[in-house]
Structure 1
Amino acid sequence: MNTAELTFEQIHQTIAQGGRISRDEARWLWQNASIAELCDLAMQVRGRFHTPHSCTYMIMRIINYTNVCVAQCDYCAFYRLPGQEGGYVMKQEEVYTKLDELLALGGDLVSFNGGFNPHLPLDYYCNLFRNIRDRYGDRLEFYALTIAEFMYLADHAKLDYATTAQRFKDAGVRWITGGGSEILTEDFRKRHSKFKYTVAQYFEAQRAIIDAGLRTTATMVIGFDETLEERLEHLERTRQFQDETHGLASFLCWTYKPYFTQIGGIEIGNGEYLRHLALSRIFLDNIPRIRTSVLTRNERALEGLAYGADDFDLPIEDEVTQKAGATISLDFDSILNVAKELGFTPEYRHVATAPQPSTR
């Protein structure tokens, strides 16, 4: 495609007719479209799935059950190496206390996120999740692992991904999220997380999770040193994977928090985040739910509802991002009022009883 011949009117017509933009057109939009133009296109694609002024939210908690990890990602301020001072593993009773606190605050979703802990066998996780399902039933739902952790556990147990996914399913797990993706290019992973798995392995594991009948999501983190081309490659890989599997329930993009990390840096501004969120909504035309990140953008994340997002969560804890500088507010009414002031009507989304979102 000769991008020099592209115009906003041409791309606008494609979107208005229900069409799909190419990677070249996405690049052109990032480089040439105004934020108002991006917003207009993003809201058109949003309208294929959601009514104009609707949005949903959840109250959730991220439980970091261990901080011992051998991945050594240079953007993480949370991990401790095995044997290093400050390393921990939570007891199950501690986990239950956190779950009870979440329920008392009106939430019903918990996400588990730890790391690559070589001292925790697969049975530790299966027993934990089985006990949570037995104890709480459908009163709450849990995102059991990130895909990155899932892959490490499968490798550590010397099992293939299909067998590992079935083990978790038998333990009562219903969700394994797309966490650990960051930027899905091989060059990015070589620069920043060389002990994590390759992009090809990531999608191989996610496909096995879907094939096992488990639910999963797409995630992305921006604001490191990634290039525009790397961002576009991530979006293109995600869209292609969704075309093939129809297994991604949502897409969540958040921003890198640079404080106290090895690589440091300066956090990107909200304008760049909103611009990327809009471009993601335009490009990912086969993922119904696009989520904006209150965890890393605070109440300003709600502006993303006018840039194509339709969903967000109100977190009460996440040590990983808090260690890197994230702040969390429990003033839920104040945050929800931001959405209302922007013209949206937020409705609580109960993950525990919600059906799998359907694709086009």
Structure 2
Amino acid sequence: MALAVETRLTLAEISAKIDEGTRIDVDEARWLWLNASAEELQQLAYKVRARFHAPGECTYMVMRIINYTNVCVAQCDYCAFYKLPGQAGGYVMSHDDVFAKIDELIALGGDLAAFNGGFNPALPLSYYCDLFAAIRARYGDSVEFYALTIAEFMYLADHAKISNAEAAQRLKAAGVRWITGGGSEILTEDFRSRHSKFKYTVTEYFEAQRAIVEAGLKTTATMVIGFDETLDERLEHLDRTRQFQDETGGLASFLCWTFKPYFTQIGGIEITTAEYLKHLALCRIFLDNIPRIRTSVLTQNQQALEGLKYGADDFDLPIEDEVTQKAGATISLDFERILSYARELGFEPTYRHVALAAAKA
């Protein structure tokens, strides 16, 4: 049936829908990927971008991902970072360790820390509540933090034998304002059964994210491409994300990045920047209810800024992320060079402060 629909589509018809502000469906998104050129996708994505952002405008953040522990029992085959409990090299950061990393972030001009670790069975929910409360007490509104990924949040609630709603409220009481969409990778059950069978189901993922939104916390959507996922799996991920945003309006942004296969169990060959940019354009076209689309400097380096021409409007300048660095990502602290490249592409980047005190200054 899908093939019969696809054969009746034309680029002119899809382009007309986009001009009118009409939503495209999954069949039309599939047709675009299979038939439209990169240049045509770029033009369509820029039309959707213009609904939310002025031409030539873009924003960026300076942030650090703090990998507070590398002990994890999830055993995802695409991860080069984790250590099993009791394995040599495992660690858990103290409050002072975390403070030192945040202090360095501030010294480099950043105001956002994101936490990403793993499913560490030795860490109770109180470890996280105490840590986040200590950060809020020490830094107030001068620094913001993305407390956990949704995958970690789900593990904590399960490990504590409490509901998602109760876990969200306890974290909120500790000063947490954000729990991001990390741990999504590709949101299909088949993908998870192939690569992360000890993680939670897609249905459970969205149930947890809904509880986060209902608790009054902020959240985001993420996606990682370049494993062995099919086109249909990519489209299912996007469709589920768009439906969730229709239902909740809780997604502040969408970030897509590419899988780094080096030193991982699954291995493989990294996808090209050209494929990433084409996918980014399709995301911008399809996700018509998410204003902010972010391109990934962490995994694409300076080339990620080409994504601003493919519908993205925002990016971050990371100073650390052990998870992706262990799998082959490289990080540059030459922020001015990266920002200069954005200007060469015709964009004027503006710092997007996340911390409340910095945003008001």
| TM-score category, normalised to shorter length | over 0.9
Structure-2-length-normalised TM-score: 0.98
Cα distance in 2 for residues equivalent to 1:341 and 1:355:
28
Alignment of 1:57-206 (within 5 A): 57-206=60-209
Distance 1:107 1:14 in 2: 40
Distance in 1 (alpha carbons) for counterparts of 2:146 and 2:288: 24
Distance (whole Å) between structure 1 residues aligned to residue 144 and residue 129 of structure 2: 15
Q: Unaligned regions of 5+ residues in structure 2, if any?
A: none
Q: CA deviation at 1:352?
A: 1.3
- Paired position in structure 1 for 2:335: 332
Which of residues 55, 58, 70 in structure 2 aligns to 1:52? 55
- Residue in 1 aligned with 2:266? 263
Q: Distance in 2 between matches of 1:196 and 1:331?
A: 36
1:200-251: CA deviation from partner (whole Å, max 9, x where unpaired): 0000000000000000000000000000000000000000000000000000
1:236 matches 2:239 = yes
Q: In 1, distance between residues paired with 2:352 and 2:341?
A: 18
Runs (4 or more) in structure 1 with deviation over 3 Å come to: none
Q: Distance in 2 between matches of 1:201 and 1:341?
A: 43
Q: Distance in 1 between matches of 2:80 and 2:110?
A: 27
Quote the Cα distance in structure 2 between the aligned partners of 1:83 and 1:259: 24
5+ long unaligned stretches in structure 1: none
In 1: Cα distance, 2:167 partner to 2:131 partner:
15
Residues 228-277 of structure 1 deviation map (CA, whole Å, 9 limit, x = unaligned): 00000000000000000000000000000000000100000000000000
Is the 8 Å Cα contact of residues 63 and 316 (structure 2) preserved in structure 1?
Answer: yes
User: What is the CA deviation profile of residues 154-189 of structure 1, one whole-angstrom value per residue up to 9, with x for unaligned ones?
Assistant: 000000000000000000000000000000000000
Q: CA deviation at 1:3?
A: 1.4
State the alpha-carbon separation in 2 of the partners of residues 224 and 306 from structure 1. Answer: 25
Call closer, same or farther: CA 1:225–1:204 in 2, change over 3 Å: same
Q: Does 1:24 align with 2:27?
A: yes
- Percent sequence identity is 76
Does the residue aligned with 2:317 lie in a helix, a strand or coil? strand
Number of equivalences: 356
Q: CA deviation at 1:353?
A: 2.5
Within 5 Å, give how 1:304-315 maps onto structure 2: 304-315=307-318
Cα distance in structure 1, aligned partners of 2:306 and 2:279: 13
The equivalent of 1:210 in structure 2 is 213
Return the letter of the residue paired with 1:94.
Answer: D
